[in-house]
Amino acid sequence: MNPKIEVNDLNLWFGRVHILQDIDIIIPANQVTAVIGPSGSGKSSLLRCFDRTNELITRTKTTGHIVIDGRDLAFEDPLDLRSRVGMIFQQPASLPGSIYENVAVGPRLFGIRDRRKLDVIVEESLTRAALFNELKDRLKKSAGALSGGQKQRMAIARALALNPEVLLFDEATSALDPISTQRVEDLIDKLKSTTTIIMVSHNMQQAARVSDHTLFMNVEEDGAARVVEFGPTDKIFTNPEDEKTERYITGRFG
Amino acid sequence: MRRRVYDRIVQIILVAIASMMTLFLIYLVGYIIGSGIRGFSFGFLTRAPSGITQTGGVWPMIASSIYLIGLTLLIAVPLGVGGGIYLAEYAGQGRIVETIRFAVDILSSVPSIVFGLFGLALFVQFLGLKYSMLSGAMTLTLMVLPLLLKISEESFRAVPVTYREASLALGATKDQTIFRIILPTALPAVFTGVLLSAGRAFGETAAVLYTAGLSPTTPVFPLDGGRTLSTHLYLLATTGKIEESFKVAMVLLVVILVFNVLSNVVISRFRRRFIKEAR
């Protein structure tokens, strides 16, 4: 198991509010790590630490380190970092314009203008997102007409167009129907051969099905979120060490 | 039972009021077009007025109106849309922004003749721009700017936050996000603001009368004066040429109706698109 992301003693504050406390984890490369925990337990905030988008929203303070492939995020150009770490949201955004434009938006932001290059990137990304065959005849049509599930896979293709090393899924299937959810899960399974995936999920079955490792987070009395337990998914779901973990995954709290 | 009767009565009264409004509108439009169409020929639109009575054609007035609106939009749109972007995306919150908003609200309720007087003093006299298209356009700019600013700001704010998130998560800068994602999305709504402004400028009389002048000639340069359709109408009506006035009124009315229909079409398209997005 190769480590991809090392989180050392991470603390995060929004203004004066302590959000994450003493996070110490190692995310393995080319595997799926699920982040579970009750609402408000800092799962999304942790996810946003990996592409440094927390700092866009509020005044944040961070201590500790996040290291990806030996490089400390704090010293990286955040824009460059975000191109290497893709984020998939709960509500997929279909931007104005065609499906093609939607997928090409990332490469264009980073200055790729050559039409042939873009054509290749768009086709490859849509193929990787298992969407190309479905949509190849209507790439120039508006993306607004796609179904929710298609939009979500298009959003994945959009992230893939930048060829990211890490993909973050922030409750990416909680607005989708079961069949679309199944497709996204299959996709995640395929994508882990090339990327490291971290997914926040409220769906215990999903976390158990899809992930290799599971991180259970919880909020303590003082309001800051901590890691309760982190380990192989099998172990977390069958034989958790912490009593809180067991109560959470069996649905008795949270 | 009594409640149902009461309900019915209220309904009848409301329907009556609404139909009265509609009937009145139809009567008004019908009356103006009916009076204007008498003796109207296509040549009226393409000829210049002649003789001491200044009748028989409105071509220079149409040209002046179009010139004035074009010039006004040329100045007002960059200012209004730019200001809207600033207020929605960069300004944040604070005293200064609150003051700007307050000033804009006040500005939008100032009577147009006051704008005319101000334009006369500042542009025509103090800056020496004479009675000209440029003086008129700058005055009209001041007048339509609050509307344009407000509509632009609201259009930018109406762009779903998910668009912003998606763009920023791809590594876009704030400027890239605003100009490549948010601006194109907000454009149809901004466009309705532009159409409404153009409509207002087109119908405006008082502010133009004091700043663009009354010369019944076709303007060529920005410092040329000119007489717009609405000021022409004002002049004809106040000098007793009622028949001719109705012809001009008809032209004005038709153009404004077209403007309104056009902006309604754009608004409804825009709404439909966003409703689809929200689902």
Site from B155, B170, B274 to mutate, A interface, most A CB atoms within 10 angstroms: B170
Nearest to B163 among A95, A110, A144 (CB): A95
Owner of token pair 């990996």:
A50
The per-residue pLDDT for range B194-215, each reduced to its tens digit, is 988 998 898 889 999 999 988 8
Mean pLDDT to the nearest integer, B25-47: 88
Range in A75-89, B131-145, B197-211, B250-264 the model is least confident about: B250-264
Give the residue-averaged pLDDT of A13-21. Answer: 92
CA distance B235 to B246: 12
- Judged by a CB distance cut-off of 8 A, whether residue B276 touches chain A is yes
* DSSP code, position A144: G
pLDDT band at B272 (very low <50, low <70, confident <90, very high): low
Write the DSSP string, chain B: -HHHHHHHHHHHHHHHHHHHHHHHHHHHHHHHHHHHHTT--THHHHSPPBTTTTBS--HHHHHHHHHHHHHHHHHHHHHHHHHHHIIIII--SSHHHHHHHHHHHHHTTS-HHHHHHHHIIIIIIIS---SSHHHHHHHHHHHHHHHHHHHHHHHHHTS-HHHHHHHHHTT--HHHIIIIIIHHHHHHHHHHHHHHHHHHHHH--HHHHTTT----S---STT-----HHHHHHHHHHTT-HHHHHHHHHHHHHHHHHHHHHHHHHHHHHHHHHHHHH-
- Which two tokens mark B196? 């409404």
Across the A:B interface, residue pairs with CB atoms under 8 Å apart total: 67
The predicted-structure confidence for B154-164, as pLDDT tens digits, reads as follows 999 999 989 99
Query: Where does the pLDDT of residue B279 fall: very low under 50, low under 70, confident under 90, or very high at 90 and above?
Result: very low
pLDDT at B263: 77
Torsion of CA B11, B15, B18, B24, to 10 degrees: -150
Across the range B146-159, mean pLDDT stands at 92
Q: What is the pLDDT of residue A20?
A: 94
Mean pLDDT, residues B140-150: 94
Cβ of A79 and B277 within 8 Å?
A: no
Domain boundaries, chain A: 3-249
- Tell me the CATH number of domain A3-249, given options 3.90.79.10, 3.40.47.10, 3.30.420.40, 3.40.50.300: 3.40.50.300
Smallest CA–CA distance, residue B166 to chain A, in Å, is 7
Q: Report the pLDDT averaged over residues B246-273.
A: 82
Q: Tell the burial category of B262 from Cβ atoms under 10 Å away from its Cβ (0-12, 13-18, 19+).
A: middle
Which residues 179-218 of chain B have a CB within 8 Å of chain A? 180-181, 184-185
Q: Which residues pair with A196 in a beta bridge?
A: A166
Mean pLDDT score of chain B? 89
Dmax (CA) of chain B: 73
Whole-number pLDDT of residue A254: 59
Q: Among B45-49, B105-109, B111-115, where is mean pLDDT lowest?
A: B45-49
CB-nearest to B171 from A79, A94, A96 is A79
**Residue B172 forms contact with A (CB below 8 Å):** yes
Mean pLDDT over B146-160 rounds to 92
Flag whether pLDDT at A58 surpasses 60: yes
Q: What is the pLDDT of residues A143-187, one digit of tens each?
A: 888 999 999 999 999 999 999 999 999 999 998 999 999 999 999
Minimal-distance CA residue of chain B relative to A154: B166
> Domains plus CATH for chain B?
60-278 (1.10.3720.10)
Residue B243 makes CB contacts below 8 A (sequence gap 6+) with B35, B38, B39
Give A218→chain B minimum CA distance, Å.
Answer: 26
Closest-CA residue to A171 (of A157, A155, A195)? A155
Q: Is B269 on the interface with A (CB under 8 A)?
A: no
Residue where the block lists tokens 């901004």: B190
With 0-12 / 13-18 / 19 or more C-beta atoms within 10 angstroms meaning exposed / middle / buried, residue A115 is exposed
Tokens linked to B87: 């207020």
Give the ipTM of the model, two decimals please.
Answer: 0.88
Collapsing DSSP to helix, strand or coil, A235 comes out as helix
* pLDDT given for residue B58 in this prediction: 87
Mean pLDDT of chain A: 92
B171 in contact with chain A, both atoms CB, cutoff 8 A: yes
Q: Per-residue pLDDT for A83 more than 70? A: yes
For A62, phi then psi, to 5°, come to -125, 140
B278 band by pLDDT with thresholds 50, 70 and 90: very low
What is the residue whose two structure tokens read 């709504």?
B189
How far is A87 from A100, CA to CA, in rounded Å? 19
Q: Given CB atoms, is B273 within the 8 Å cutoff of chain A?
A: yes
